[in-house]
Amino acid sequence: MPKRASEPEVRLAHMSGEIVDSDAYDKAFLPIGATEYHGPHLPYGTDTIVAETIAEAFARELGGAVVLPPIAVAVSHHHLPWKWTLSIRPDTLMLVIKDIAESLLHHGITKLVIVSTHDGNPAPAEAAARILSQEHGMNVAIFKGWQGTSARLLAPDWEIDGDHAGQSELSMALYAAPDTAWPENATAQPIQFTDLPVELIDTFDGTVPLGYSGDATKASAAEGEAIVNALVAHVVPYLKELDARGWQRGTWMSRIE
Ligand SMILES: [Zn+2]
């Protein structure tokens, strides 16, 4: 998302060597989004916009962190029935994450937070994180499930949906990148059931023939702002605690201490 004038720059792609070549920066955030069909009211890059927005908000509040350029084409095989959706294989994504992380390790950066906003990506991200931990002892944390977490945090004041191109995704676009949203094209669609006993890994067109679901007519920039603020308040104190503890596991995590 474009940086607001009052905010410090955290995007590596917009920073000079003079700025980042300092011991002040020892952590990186890696946003992972998607390029896939989001109906007539949202852009193909919606998930990437959401991932960057959340990662930048986390990095600004945490301090000492840069946000890497996002991985904007990821695992979207389940959305390929819709034209112009792009996808890479889960194993390709896993290797791309691993290569980026090993570049960081080359420079002595050992702390990485992956911010995934798309359901195809957490599995390859976790595989990469486990390999990076086993092979290099790298500290990799994964943030995922922004819709479910914000729904829990904001209830009952806000009802955050779990839909694809529904209310919450349009709210995030209206907040973070309003030039990329067409709320006048939004329609009210049935809400997807996300709390199912098992998860069938399949293409998305069987359950959602239109390619999007949820009531996007109820979206608002205020809801997008509430989501980002709630996630920052929930996640960043924990990241600060991780920092204070040298990113090492301990009984403090289980509250046994
Ligand atoms: Zn999306």
How far is ligand 1, taken at its centre, from the CA of residue 35, in Å? 9
Query: Which 8-state DSSP code applies to residue 80?
Result: T
Phi and psi of 64, rounded to 5°?
70, 20
How far is ligand 1, taken at its centre, from the CA of residue 165, in Å? 5
How far is ligand 1, taken at its centre, from the CA of residue 111, in Å? 27
Rounded to whole angstroms, the Cα distance separating 85 from 87 reads: 7
What is the average per-residue pLDDT within 115-136?
97
What is the average per-residue pLDDT within 232-245?
95
What is the tens place of the pLDDT at every residue in 75-92?
999 999 999 999 999 999
Of residues 118 and 2, the one with the higher pLDDT is 118
Checking if the pLDDT of 248 tops 90, the result is no
Nearest to 172 by CA among 31, 67, 61: 31
- DSSP letters of 110-173? -EEEEEE-STTSHHHHHHHHHHHHHHH--EEEEE--HHHHHHHHHTTT------TTSHHHHHHH
How far is ligand 1, taken at its centre, from the CA of residue 42, in Å? 9
Sheet holding 65-67, edge to edge: 65-67, 27-32, 111-116, 139-143
Give 15's pLDDT tier (boundaries 50, 70, 90): very high
How far is ligand 1, taken at its centre, from the CA of residue 74, in Å? 12
How far is ligand 1, taken at its centre, from the CA of residue 38, in Å? 7
**What's the pLDDT at 36?**
97
**What's the pLDDT at 1?**
58
The residue to which tokens 């709320």 are assigned: 183
What is the tens place of the pLDDT at every residue in 39-65?
999 999 999 999 999 999 999 999 999
- pTM for the model stands at 0.95
Share of the chain above pLDDT 90, in %: 81
How far is ligand 1, taken at its centre, from the CA of residue 139, in Å? 28
**What's the pLDDT at 200?**
86
Amino acid found at 207: T
Phi and psi of 57, rounded to 5°?
-65, -40
Q: What CATH class is the domain 24-158+227-254?
A: alpha beta
**What's the pLDDT at 152?**
97
How far is ligand 1, taken at its centre, from the CA of residue 23, in Å? 36
Domain residue limits, the chain: 24-158+227-254
**What's the pLDDT at 149?**
97
**What's the pLDDT at 2?**
59
How far is ligand 1, taken at its centre, from the CA of residue 216, in Å? 12
Checking if the pLDDT of 257 tops 70, the result is no
How far is ligand 1, taken at its centre, from the CA of residue 58, in Å? 20
